[in-house]
Structure 1
C-alpha cells in the first residue's frame, strides 16, 4: 500500500491519503516471547486433558504447578490460541413441560 521509494509522494502524504497514522506504517509487531510460548504449550497440554477448564481453573492449575501467572495473562493466551472451555450453557429458551401458557387478553383491542 505505502511505497517508500515513490517518486512523487512521500510516506507522510501516502499515509494521509490512506487515512492511517504514520506510526502504523513504521510499527513492526513484536510477537510472543519464549516464556509466553512455553506457557501456551503448558496451557494447551492441560486443556487437552481437561477441556472444561476455563481461565480461573487454568490459572489455579498453573499456580499449583509453580507458575506465576495472573488471570488476565491466561485469558489473553487462551483467547490467542482459540481455546474455549466446554460447559453446559443455560437452556432458557425451552419452556417447562408443566408450565401453562396464558393467553394474551389484549390482542386485537385498542387501549
Structure 2
C-alpha cells in the first residue's frame, strides 16, 4: 500500500497515515533458512505425536535424533509455528471448599463522601 514514488506524499507521511512503522517498510523480513525449515518439520512431526513436549524436552529429543540445538532456538521455532505444550495448568480460579465465604458488606451502600467507608 506504500507507494515510494508518490509525487505528493513522502514514505514517512504515508506510514503515518496508515499507522504503520517506517521500519517495516524499509526492512524486509529475513527468510527462514533451510536448516530451520528442517528443524521445524521435525518439531511439527514430534509435536503431533507428543503435544505435551515443551522446548526442553523437544531439544533433548532433537539431540537424540542427531540435531543438537539450543533450547532457545527450539523455543523460537515453536513460537514461530504457534506450538505450545499441552499440560495441566494450576486451576487458581476455584475457591477451596473448606474456606468460609464472607458476605460483601458494602453491596447496598451508596458511598457519597470521603472517608465514609
Same fold (TM over 0.5): yes
Quick one: distance in 2 between partners of 1:86 and 1:92?
17
Contact 2:59 2:74 in 1 (8 A): yes
Q: Which TM-score applies when normalising by structure 1?
A: 0.76
Partner of 1:16: 12
Quick one: distance in 1 between partners of 2:79 and 2:5?
39
Q: Give, in angstroms, the shift of residue 31 of structure 1.
A: 1.3
Q: Give, in angstroms, the shift of residue 102 of structure 1.
A: 4.7
Unaligned runs of 5+ in 2: 107-115
Instruction: Decide whether aligned partners of structure 1 residues 107 and 50 sit closer, same or farther in structure 2, where only a CA change above 3 A counts.
Output: same
Quick one: distance in 1 between partners of 2:26 and 2:91?
49
Q: How many residues align?
A: 104
Partner of 1:107: 105
For 1:65-104, what aligned pairs fall within 5 Å after superposition?
65-97=65-97, 99-103=98-102
Unaligned runs of 5+ in 1: none
Instruction: Decide whether aligned partners of structure 1 residues 94 and 16 sit closer, same or farther in structure 2, where only a CA change above 3 A counts.
Output: same
Q: Which TM-score applies when normalising by structure 2?
A: 0.73
1:78-101: CA deviation from partner (whole Å, max 9, x where unpaired): 11111111100101221233x031
Q: What value does the CA root-mean-square deviation take over the aligned residues?
A: 2.4
Contact 1:54 1:85 in 2 (8 A): yes
Quick one: distance in 2 between partners of 1:28 and 1:73?
21
